[in-house]
Amino acid sequence: MARIVSVLLPLPLPEAFDYEEPEGLGLSVGEQVAVPLGARLAPGVVTAVREGAGGNRPLKPVSGRLEALPLSPATVDFIQWAARYAAELPGLPLAIALRGARAPLPRPERLAVLSGHPPSRLTPARTRVLGAAREGPSTPADLARRAGVSAAVVRGLIDDGALEMRLAPRPDSFGAPDLDLPAPPLNDSQAAAAAGLRAMLEEGGFQAALLDGVTGSGKTEVYLEAIRAALGADPDGQVLILLPEIALTQALISRVTDRFGAPPGEWHSGVAPPARRQVWDAVAEGRCRIVVGARSALFLPFRRLRLIVVDEEHDTSFKQEEGFIYQARDLAVVRAKLEGAAVILASATPSLETLRNAETGRYRWLRLADRHGEARLPDIRLVDLRESPPETGRWISPPLAEAMAETLAAGEQTLLFLNRRGYAPLVLCRACGQKLTAPDTDSWLVEHRYTNRLVCHLTGFSMPRPATCPHCGAAESLVSIGPGVERLEEEARALFPEARIAVFSSDTVRSAADARSMVETMAAGEIDILVATQAAAKGHNFPNLTLVGVIDADLGLRGGDLRAAERTFQLLAQATGRAGRRDRPGRALIQTWAPDHPVMQALRAQDRDAFVRTELDERELAGLPPFGRLAAVVVSGRDPATLEAFVREAAAAAPNAEGVEIYGPADAPMALVRGRRRKRFLVRADRQVDLSAYMGAWRARLKPRGSIRVTIDIDPYSFF
């Protein structure tokens, strides 16, 4: 009896399609194949193989096996689970998983070697080239340089047959980790945590742990010890380290390389496609045993994944909010479970969901209460802006300016933290009062004075700063409202003209190489004042940084985000934690208009546990995460009437279920984006409700028409 194979295609299709397996092909789950789809052939991945007939009509046969490495069965299971959890089409996560496999291979290098045939004639220049070629294969350009001749001489020898060109073998840049290299000494707290992780790994199977340590406590060295244990226990084992920011990868890659004597695979959007292909292939073949990457590295085709580390697990950058929507921290736990592997969630400010799992015993809880070595946590002071306001048109308060002067005089460094890019977040006209927004979008245009442009950070729209108001035509009427990091740098230069000042944001640090250069320059003491967004507030270690000034601590508390207090506490705790990480004492000044707010009081007292307890109590009363579940549905369309009619139909189509509450439809806070009107539902469910299944059932009842689009977000982090 012919066998039937189910093939999932990396396309927005609702399910895998069945095909007949040609006799003798012998396919298995995870293999990549070509199958007919309409009038064309499409690549896909086998998700199931079974005996039996295909139904009422004959099935089309699989066209053939692709010359591509297969995905492991556990990877296929993970892709399908992720789609079900997100109530999304399964081809979308598959497309992420195959992105590296579809990238081009690096071009093999062509090297010149001696052919064994003498040249038709010899000259002094040719003789030098042939002498250099005897030292071994090299590129024509390198050969010419070593012989001190022009490239034409080398080309002449190639044309003459005395030299021939050969393709160099592709080097394997992923050496085996050396697990016997000496490790830095651990303090008692680190040693106890490392022992706990080793015990967890020795038990084998799926295990989860929270590595909870204050900033500067040495969490990285602890989980590197766990990595050594995981790799030592399984000679074919692989490890994945997830980081929230590209800017953090270079420092960690250096530490991993120093620790194990071999560079890890690097996986993020800043890696060139040919290098991505090398990593993808090496992971699939098991040659790459350690990967350091961003959230999409979760979808790599690991052959034998033994440990996942999610560093800065609380960070909101682990949430993917476009295309296939997912939370990488949560999917990391699931992937570890499907692989029978361990997972370590590391943070100085863990998410409330993770803390709740640790409190209830679902995760092991390993705590590092003190900083490593002689370093101590910084002293934190609240600057009440009602009592000590900055001068008009300024943003640095007198107490902070005085502290900066003292720090500069002592030869130490200052970090000014403001999580707002550009020069000013808003430009308005004094004549007509109009706020400048992007075309067909409610988003304000942000002024960027470095480029003299107004930019929409939501849609990417950009335009030169106009000389007159686009709405009323008034000349010289546009004014910049509020501060961004560029404006803060301008103020710092006016206050301290002799200081060396730099800006660290995604506008000034556009690549991993830029981030590495900025971090190295700061660490070397070549910057006196670093003005930075959250890009510099995570994981970096600046030995001479002793002062952190938070400019607008209340910024994250505005709006209706249920996680506003949690995010603000995490971000400011991380930012202030950059100070005093070596033997010099550090301090932080937090400028706020609401010093009595629980977040500010918890930061001042450095009492995270009190803040967490209060926040958890409030969430429990409201049935919000981690005591309940949330999902968001955003419906958008170009015609307001059609959109309104559809969302009313969608509301009526919602399944009835106990423990589920639906709020909406209502206008989204950002009601117009790129010419599309947006409506929003918010779904709250009790913890025991299978919210993914509920949302999947609701989606199945919706039949969008025309320009209507429906987006479902399980566990939403953004509420715009």
pLDDT at 175: 85
The single-letter code of the amino acid at 324 is F
What is the per-residue burial (b if ≥16 Cβ within 10 Å, else e) of 87-117?
bbbbbbbbbbbbbbbebeeeeeeebbeebee
Contacts for 61 with CB less than 8 Å, ≥ 6 apart: 19, 20, 21, 22
Is 467 within a domain?
no
The answer to whether residues 152 and 75 belong to one domain is: no
Amino acid letter for position 669 = P
Residues with pLDDT less than 70, the chain: 1, 53-56, 169-172, 372-375, 539, 559-560, 581
- The model's pTM: 0.89
pLDDT on residue 558: 73
Q: Is residue 212 part of a domain?
A: yes
Q: In 3-state terms, what secondary structure has residue 236?
A: coil
What residues contact residue 310 under an 8 Å CB cut-off, 6+ apart?
A: 242, 318, 328, 329, 332, 343, 344, 345, 346
Pair 332, 412 in one domain: no
Assign residue 19 the CATH number of its domain.
3.40.1440.60
Q: What is the CATH number of the domain that holds 678?
A: 3.30.70.600
DSSP state of 370: S
Residue 438, in any domain of the structure:
no
Structural domains of the chain, count: 5
**Residue 109, both tokens:** 């290098």
In a domain, 396, yes or no: yes
Q: Where are the alpha helices (DSSP H) in 587-690?
A: 598-605, 608-622, 640-653
pLDDT tens readout for residues 536-583: 777 678 889 999 999 999 988 876 678 899 999 999 998 988 887 677
- Here the tokens at position 588 are 């932080």
Range of the domain at 673: 628-714
* Helix/strand/coil for 177: coil
Helix axes 608-622, 598-605, angle to 10 degrees: 150
196, containing H or E segment: helix 188-203
Q: Longest C-alpha distance within the chain, in Å?
A: 92
SS3 label, residue 389: coil
**Residue 446 forms part of a structural domain:** no
Residue 180 lies in a domain: no
On whether both 608 and 632 belong to a single domain, the answer is no
Token reading at 548: 């952190």
- Cis omega (within 30 of 0) for bond into 626: yes
Cα–Cα distances (Å) from 28 to 4, 42, 152, 335, in that order, read: 11, 18, 53, 21
- Do 122 and 57 lie in one domain? The reply is no
DSSP string, 18-34: EEEPPTT----TT-EEE
178 domain residue, yes or no: no
Clarify whether residues 393 and 535 are in a common domain: yes
Q: Which of 50, 68, 97 is the last residue of a domain?
A: 97
584, 617, 650: which is the final residue of a domain?
Answer: 617
Instruction: Answer for the pair 395, 551: CB distance below 8 angstroms, yes or no.
Output: yes
Residues 646 and 691 in one domain: yes
Number of C-alpha atoms within 13 angstroms, CB side, residue 250? 16
Supply the DSSP string of 494-544, one letter for each residue. Answer: HH-TTS-EEEESTTT--SHHHHHHHHHHHHTT--SEEEE-GGGSSS---TT
- Cα distance between residue 24 and residue 40, in whole Å: 23
Residue 197's contacts (CB-CB under 8 Å, 6 or more residues apart) are 209, 211, 222, 223, 225, 226, 229, 344, 366
- Please tell me whether residues 292 and 399 are part of one structural domain: no
- Residues 168 and 108: beta-carbon distance below 8 Å: yes
Type of residue numbered 529: I
Do residues 241 and 204 share a domain? yes
Instruction: Specify whether 90 is located in the same domain as 124.
Output: no
Tens of pLDDT, residues 645-663? 999 999 999 999 999 999 9
Q: Are residues 703 and 608 in the same domain?
A: no
In a domain, 176, yes or no: no
CATH code: domain of residue 353:
3.40.50.300
Same domain, 613 and 632: no
Is the previous residue joined to 665 through a cis bond, with omega within 30 degrees of 0?
A: yes
Residues 413 and 516 in one domain: yes
How far from chain centre, in Å, is Cα 503?
Answer: 21
